[in-house]
Protein backbone atom coordinates (compact mmCIF):
# COMPACT_ATOMS: atom_id res chain seq x y z
CA UNK A 1 0.00 0.00 0.00
CA UNK A 2 1.35 3.48 -0.81
CA UNK A 3 1.61 5.96 2.07
CA UNK A 4 -1.61 8.01 2.24
CA UNK A 5 -0.64 11.35 0.72
CA UNK A 6 -2.80 14.44 0.64
CA UNK A 7 -2.01 17.86 -0.68
CA UNK A 8 -3.17 21.44 -0.73
CA UNK A 9 -2.63 23.13 -4.07
CA UNK A 10 -3.55 26.81 -3.99
CA UNK A 11 -3.36 29.11 -6.99
CA UNK A 12 -1.78 32.26 -5.56
CA UNK A 13 -3.48 34.79 -7.81
CA UNK A 14 -4.86 36.45 -4.69
CA UNK A 15 -4.71 35.99 -0.93
CA UNK A 16 -6.07 32.71 0.47
CA UNK A 17 -9.72 33.06 1.49
CA UNK A 18 -11.67 31.10 4.06
CA UNK A 19 -12.86 28.57 1.46
CA UNK A 20 -9.23 27.78 0.60
CA UNK A 21 -8.35 27.43 4.27
CA UNK A 22 -11.26 25.07 4.84
CA UNK A 23 -9.99 22.89 1.96
CA UNK A 24 -6.47 22.97 3.31
CA UNK A 25 -7.77 22.01 6.74
CA UNK A 26 -9.83 19.04 5.53
CA UNK A 27 -7.03 17.83 3.24
CA UNK A 28 -4.58 18.11 6.12
CA UNK A 29 -6.81 16.41 8.71
CA UNK A 30 -7.68 13.60 6.34
CA UNK A 31 -4.03 12.89 5.55
CA UNK A 32 -2.72 13.30 9.09
CA UNK A 33 -5.53 11.23 10.64
CA UNK A 34 -4.29 8.34 8.48
CA UNK A 35 -0.71 9.05 9.62
CA UNK A 36 -0.13 10.13 6.04
CA UNK A 37 1.94 12.76 4.27
CA UNK A 38 0.68 16.21 3.47
CA UNK A 39 2.20 18.22 0.62
CA UNK A 40 1.95 21.86 -0.39
CA UNK A 41 2.00 22.68 -4.07
CA UNK A 42 1.89 26.21 -5.38
CA UNK A 43 -0.17 26.16 -8.59
CA UNK A 44 1.39 29.22 -10.17
CA UNK A 45 1.51 27.73 -13.64
CA UNK A 46 -0.17 30.93 -14.89
CA UNK A 47 3.00 32.83 -14.05
CA UNK A 48 1.87 36.41 -14.85
CA UNK A 49 -1.18 36.08 -12.60
CA UNK A 50 0.66 34.49 -9.69
CA UNK A 51 3.54 36.60 -8.35
CA UNK A 52 5.93 34.94 -5.89
CA UNK A 53 4.91 37.51 -3.30
CA UNK A 54 1.43 35.96 -3.17
CA UNK A 55 2.82 32.43 -2.98
CA UNK A 56 4.93 33.51 -0.03
CA UNK A 57 1.89 35.14 1.53
CA UNK A 58 -0.01 31.83 1.22
CA UNK A 59 2.88 30.00 2.89
CA UNK A 60 3.00 32.61 5.67
CA UNK A 61 -0.76 32.40 6.22
CA UNK A 62 -0.71 28.59 6.37
CA UNK A 63 2.25 28.66 8.75
CA UNK A 64 0.45 31.17 10.99
CA UNK A 65 -2.55 28.82 11.09
CA UNK A 66 -0.32 25.95 12.21
CA UNK A 67 -0.04 23.87 9.04
CA UNK A 68 3.06 21.81 8.48
CA UNK A 69 3.92 19.90 5.33
CA UNK A 70 6.33 17.25 4.20
CA UNK A 71 9.02 18.17 1.68
CA UNK A 72 9.63 21.66 0.34
CA UNK A 73 6.64 23.29 -1.35
CA UNK A 74 6.63 22.56 -5.06
CA UNK A 75 6.16 25.46 -7.50
CA UNK A 76 4.52 24.65 -10.81
CA UNK A 77 6.26 27.64 -12.38
CA UNK A 78 9.54 25.69 -12.01
CA UNK A 79 8.25 22.60 -13.81
CA UNK A 80 7.67 23.52 -17.46
CA UNK A 81 10.17 20.88 -18.62
CA UNK A 82 8.17 18.16 -16.89
CA UNK A 83 4.88 19.33 -18.41
CA UNK A 84 6.54 19.62 -21.82
CA UNK A 85 7.63 15.98 -21.63
CA UNK A 86 4.11 14.86 -20.69
CA UNK A 87 2.62 16.90 -23.53
CA UNK A 88 5.13 15.36 -25.89
CA UNK A 89 3.98 11.88 -24.90
CA UNK A 90 0.36 12.81 -25.54
CA UNK A 91 1.28 14.30 -28.91
CA UNK A 92 3.25 11.17 -29.87
CA UNK A 93 0.16 9.13 -29.10
CA UNK A 94 -1.87 11.27 -31.54
CA UNK A 95 -4.08 12.73 -28.81
CA UNK A 96 -3.39 16.41 -29.39
CA UNK A 97 -3.74 19.00 -32.13
CA UNK A 98 -2.79 22.65 -32.56
CA UNK A 99 -5.63 25.17 -32.27
CA UNK A 100 -5.33 28.60 -33.87
CA UNK A 101 -8.68 29.98 -32.74
CA UNK A 102 -8.69 33.38 -31.09
CA UNK A 103 -10.68 34.04 -27.98
CA UNK A 104 -13.19 36.08 -29.95
CA UNK A 105 -13.71 33.22 -32.43
CA UNK A 106 -14.18 30.75 -29.60
CA UNK A 107 -16.81 32.90 -27.96
CA UNK A 108 -18.77 33.41 -31.15
CA UNK A 109 -18.77 29.70 -32.01
CA UNK A 110 -19.51 28.51 -28.51
CA UNK A 111 -22.38 26.19 -27.78
CA UNK A 112 -24.25 28.22 -25.17
CA UNK A 113 -24.81 25.38 -22.73
CA UNK A 114 -22.13 25.78 -20.12
CA UNK A 115 -22.75 29.28 -18.85
CA UNK A 116 -20.50 32.08 -19.95
CA UNK A 117 -17.29 30.96 -18.31
CA UNK A 118 -16.84 27.63 -20.04
CA UNK A 119 -17.64 26.81 -23.64
CA UNK A 120 -17.50 23.56 -25.53
CA UNK A 121 -14.97 23.76 -28.32
CA UNK A 122 -16.56 23.14 -31.69
CA UNK A 123 -13.45 21.42 -33.12
CA UNK A 124 -12.77 24.12 -35.66
CA UNK A 125 -9.08 23.15 -35.84
CA UNK A 126 -9.44 19.43 -35.10
CA UNK A 127 -8.94 18.26 -38.66
CA UNK A 128 -6.37 20.60 -40.14
CA UNK A 129 -3.83 18.86 -42.35
CA UNK A 130 -0.18 19.16 -41.23
CA UNK A 131 0.35 21.57 -44.16
CA UNK A 132 -2.55 23.79 -43.13
CA UNK A 133 -1.34 23.81 -39.54
CA UNK A 134 2.21 24.69 -40.62
CA UNK A 135 0.88 27.51 -42.80
CA UNK A 136 -1.16 29.00 -39.97
CA UNK A 137 1.69 28.65 -37.52
CA UNK A 138 3.60 31.22 -39.61
CA UNK A 139 1.28 33.97 -38.39
CA UNK A 140 -0.11 32.74 -35.08
CA UNK A 141 1.29 30.57 -32.30
CA UNK A 142 -1.21 27.79 -31.63
CA UNK A 143 -2.60 26.46 -28.40
CA UNK A 144 -2.52 22.66 -27.96
CA UNK A 145 -5.74 20.79 -27.35
CA UNK A 146 -6.48 17.28 -26.21
CA UNK A 147 -8.88 15.33 -28.39
CA UNK A 148 -11.47 13.74 -26.07
CA UNK A 149 -13.54 10.63 -26.80
CA UNK A 150 -17.31 10.23 -26.80
CA UNK A 151 -17.09 8.30 -23.57
CA UNK A 152 -18.66 8.47 -20.14
CA UNK A 153 -16.05 8.78 -17.43
CA UNK A 154 -17.18 8.03 -13.88
CA UNK A 155 -15.65 8.27 -10.46
CA UNK A 156 -16.92 8.02 -6.91
CA UNK A 157 -16.50 11.23 -5.00
CA UNK A 158 -15.86 10.76 -1.28
CA UNK A 159 -18.76 13.06 -0.39
CA UNK A 160 -20.93 13.38 -3.49
CA UNK A 161 -20.93 9.74 -4.65
CA UNK A 162 -20.86 8.56 -8.25
CA UNK A 163 -20.21 11.30 -10.79
CA UNK A 164 -20.29 10.78 -14.55
CA UNK A 165 -19.42 13.00 -17.45
CA UNK A 166 -19.27 12.41 -21.16
CA UNK A 167 -16.10 14.17 -22.18
CA UNK A 168 -17.14 14.98 -25.72
CA UNK A 169 -20.63 16.17 -24.85
CA UNK A 170 -20.03 17.86 -21.51
CA UNK A 171 -16.54 19.20 -21.82
CA UNK A 172 -15.09 19.10 -25.33
CA UNK A 173 -11.48 19.10 -26.49
CA UNK A 174 -9.61 21.11 -23.90
CA UNK A 175 -6.42 23.12 -23.77
CA UNK A 176 -3.21 21.55 -22.53
CA UNK A 177 -0.94 24.42 -23.47
CA UNK A 178 -1.99 27.96 -24.20
CA UNK A 179 -0.85 29.89 -27.25
CA UNK A 180 1.46 31.93 -25.00
CA UNK A 181 3.29 28.70 -24.08
CA UNK A 182 1.92 28.36 -20.55
CA UNK A 183 0.69 24.91 -19.58
CA UNK A 184 -2.94 24.41 -18.61
CA UNK A 185 -4.12 23.56 -15.13
CA UNK A 186 -5.48 20.11 -16.12
CA UNK A 187 -2.17 18.86 -17.43
CA UNK A 188 -0.08 20.31 -14.63
CA UNK A 189 -2.32 19.00 -11.86
CA UNK A 190 -2.44 15.48 -13.28
CA UNK A 191 1.31 15.27 -13.79
CA UNK A 192 2.08 16.66 -10.35
CA UNK A 193 -0.44 14.58 -8.43
CA UNK A 194 1.03 11.48 -10.05
CA UNK A 195 4.70 12.37 -9.66
CA UNK A 196 4.22 13.50 -6.06
CA UNK A 197 2.50 10.23 -5.16
CA UNK A 198 -0.76 11.93 -4.14
CA UNK A 199 -3.35 9.33 -3.13
CA UNK A 200 -6.13 11.67 -2.01
CA UNK A 201 -7.24 14.92 -3.62
CA UNK A 202 -9.39 17.16 -1.43
CA UNK A 203 -10.53 20.37 -3.12
CA UNK A 204 -13.48 22.64 -3.72
CA UNK A 205 -16.68 21.45 -5.27
CA UNK A 206 -16.21 24.06 -8.00
CA UNK A 207 -13.52 21.78 -9.47
CA UNK A 208 -15.55 18.56 -9.34
CA UNK A 209 -16.44 18.77 -13.02
CA UNK A 210 -12.74 18.89 -13.98
CA UNK A 211 -12.13 15.47 -12.48
CA UNK A 212 -13.26 13.33 -15.46
CA UNK A 213 -10.82 15.26 -17.67
CA UNK A 214 -8.07 14.55 -15.19
CA UNK A 215 -8.98 10.86 -15.01
CA UNK A 216 -8.80 10.65 -18.78
CA UNK A 217 -5.39 12.34 -18.84
CA UNK A 218 -4.16 9.96 -16.14
CA UNK A 219 -5.21 7.03 -18.26
CA UNK A 220 -3.42 8.35 -21.36
CA UNK A 221 -0.27 9.04 -19.37
CA UNK A 222 -0.35 5.68 -17.61
CA UNK A 223 -0.86 7.08 -14.12
CA UNK A 224 -3.05 5.64 -11.39
CA UNK A 225 -5.94 7.74 -10.09
CA UNK A 226 -6.08 9.18 -6.57
CA UNK A 227 -9.26 9.24 -4.49
CA UNK A 228 -11.27 12.45 -4.84
CA UNK A 229 -13.24 14.35 -2.23
CA UNK A 230 -14.83 17.64 -3.24
CA UNK A 231 -15.81 20.04 -0.48
CA UNK A 232 -19.14 21.88 -0.48
CA UNK A 233 -19.22 25.63 -0.82
CA UNK A 234 -18.53 27.69 2.30
CA UNK A 235 -21.28 30.29 2.85
CA UNK A 236 -22.13 32.87 5.49
CA UNK A 237 -24.51 32.21 8.36
CA UNK A 238 -27.47 33.23 6.19
CA UNK A 239 -26.42 30.75 3.52
CA UNK A 240 -25.15 33.45 1.14
CA UNK A 241 -22.02 33.10 -0.96
CA UNK A 242 -18.97 34.80 0.48
CA UNK A 243 -18.03 37.75 -1.65
CA UNK A 244 -14.53 39.00 -2.33
CA UNK A 245 -15.68 42.43 -1.19
CA UNK A 246 -16.43 40.99 2.26
CA UNK A 247 -13.39 42.66 3.76
CA UNK A 248 -14.32 41.49 7.28
CA UNK A 249 -13.51 37.93 6.22
CA UNK A 250 -10.17 38.86 4.72
CA UNK A 251 -7.34 37.16 6.65
CA UNK A 252 -5.78 40.49 7.60
CA UNK A 253 -9.03 41.57 9.22
CA UNK A 254 -9.67 38.14 10.78
CA UNK A 255 -6.16 38.02 12.25
CA UNK A 256 -6.87 41.22 14.16
CA UNK A 257 -9.94 39.72 15.81
CA UNK A 258 -9.13 36.04 16.13
CA UNK A 259 -6.36 33.58 16.89
CA UNK A 260 -5.53 30.77 14.44
CA UNK A 261 -7.36 28.32 16.76
CA UNK A 262 -10.44 30.56 16.72
CA UNK A 263 -10.50 30.56 12.92
CA UNK A 264 -9.87 26.81 12.60
CA UNK A 265 -12.53 26.12 15.24
CA UNK A 266 -15.10 28.12 13.28
CA UNK A 267 -14.21 26.28 10.07
CA UNK A 268 -14.30 22.89 11.84
CA UNK A 269 -17.74 23.78 13.15
CA UNK A 270 -18.93 24.83 9.66
CA UNK A 271 -17.74 21.51 8.26
CA UNK A 272 -19.52 19.53 10.97
CA UNK A 273 -16.40 18.20 12.72
CA UNK A 274 -17.30 19.76 16.07
CA UNK A 275 -20.73 20.49 17.45
CA UNK A 276 -20.09 23.89 18.95
CA UNK A 277 -17.75 26.69 18.04
CA UNK A 278 -14.60 26.47 20.14
CA UNK A 279 -10.96 27.31 19.52
CA UNK A 280 -9.29 24.24 18.02
CA UNK A 281 -5.78 23.63 16.77
CA UNK A 282 -5.07 21.27 13.91
CA UNK A 283 -3.50 18.85 16.42
CA UNK A 284 -6.70 18.84 18.45
CA UNK A 285 -8.84 18.29 15.37
CA UNK A 286 -6.91 15.28 14.01
CA UNK A 287 -8.54 12.72 16.35
CA UNK A 288 -11.98 14.28 15.77
CA UNK A 289 -11.73 14.08 12.00
CA UNK A 290 -14.12 11.79 10.13
CA UNK A 291 -15.46 12.28 6.58
CA UNK A 292 -18.78 10.86 7.81
CA UNK A 293 -19.28 14.03 9.82
CA UNK A 294 -18.74 16.39 6.92
CA UNK A 295 -21.98 17.75 5.49
CA UNK A 296 -22.81 17.66 1.79
CA UNK A 297 -24.87 20.86 1.80
CA UNK A 298 -23.29 24.28 1.71
CA UNK A 299 -21.19 24.72 4.84
CA UNK A 300 -22.36 27.67 6.91
CA UNK A 301 -19.94 29.79 8.89
CA UNK A 302 -21.07 30.65 12.41
CA UNK A 303 -22.44 34.14 12.91
CA UNK A 304 -19.68 35.02 15.40
CA UNK A 305 -17.15 35.28 12.56
CA UNK A 306 -18.91 38.38 11.29
CA UNK A 307 -17.62 41.70 12.61
N1 LIG B 1 -5.19 25.27 -7.80
C2 LIG B 1 -6.59 25.02 -7.68
C3 LIG B 1 -7.26 26.15 -6.92
O4 LIG B 1 -6.62 26.84 -6.15
C5 LIG B 1 -6.87 23.72 -6.95
C6 LIG B 1 -6.55 22.58 -7.79
C7 LIG B 1 -6.69 21.25 -7.12
O8 LIG B 1 -6.77 21.18 -5.88
O9 LIG B 1 -6.68 20.26 -7.85
O10 LIG B 1 -8.43 26.37 -7.10
Q: What are the angstrom distances between the C-alpha of 276 and each of 17, 103, 187, 270, 273?
A: 22, 49, 41, 9, 9
As a whole number of angstroms, the distance between CA 4 and CA 70 comes to 12
Asked if residue 44 has its Cβ within 6 Å of ligand 1, the reply is no
Distance of alpha carbon 43 from alpha carbon 166, whole angstroms:
27
Evaluate: CB of 43 within 6 angstroms of ligand 1.
yes
- How far does the centroid of ligand 1 lie from the alpha carbon of residue 19, in Å? 12
Alpha helices in 196-259 (DSSP H): 211-221, 251-257
pTM assigned to the model: 0.94
Pocket test for ligand 1, best of 18, 42, 43, 217 (most atoms within 8 A of CB): 43
Query: 23 alpha carbon to ligand 1 midpoint, in Å?
Result: 10
Atom of ligand 1 nearest to the CA of 203: 8
pLDDT (tens, 9 = 90+) of the chain, 307 residues, equals: 899 999 999 999 999 999 999 999 999 999 999 999 999 999 999 999 999 999 999 999 999 999 999 999 999 999 999 999 999 999 999 999 999 998 877 776 655 444 445 689 999 999 999 999 999 999 999 999 999 999 999 999 999 999 999 999 999 999 999 999 999 999 999 999 999 999 999 999 999 999 999 999 999 999 999 999 999 999 999 999 987 777 789 899 999 999 999 999 999 999 999 999 999 999 999 999 999 999 899 999 999 998 7
Using the mean position of ligand 1's atoms as its centre, give its distance from the Cα of residue 185 in Å: 8
Q: Which stretches within 230-297 are classed as H helix?
A: 251-257, 260-271, 282-285
Q: Which atom of ligand 1 is least distant from the CA of 23?
A: 8
Amino acid sequence: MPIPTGRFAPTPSGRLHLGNILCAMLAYLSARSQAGRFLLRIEDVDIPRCPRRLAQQAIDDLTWLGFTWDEEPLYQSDRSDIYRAALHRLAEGGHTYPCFCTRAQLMSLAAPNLGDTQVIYQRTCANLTPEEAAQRALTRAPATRLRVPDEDISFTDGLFGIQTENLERDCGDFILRRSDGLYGYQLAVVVDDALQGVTEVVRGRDILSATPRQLYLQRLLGYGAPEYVHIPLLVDHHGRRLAKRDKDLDLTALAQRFTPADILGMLAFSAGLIEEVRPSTLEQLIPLFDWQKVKRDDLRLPECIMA
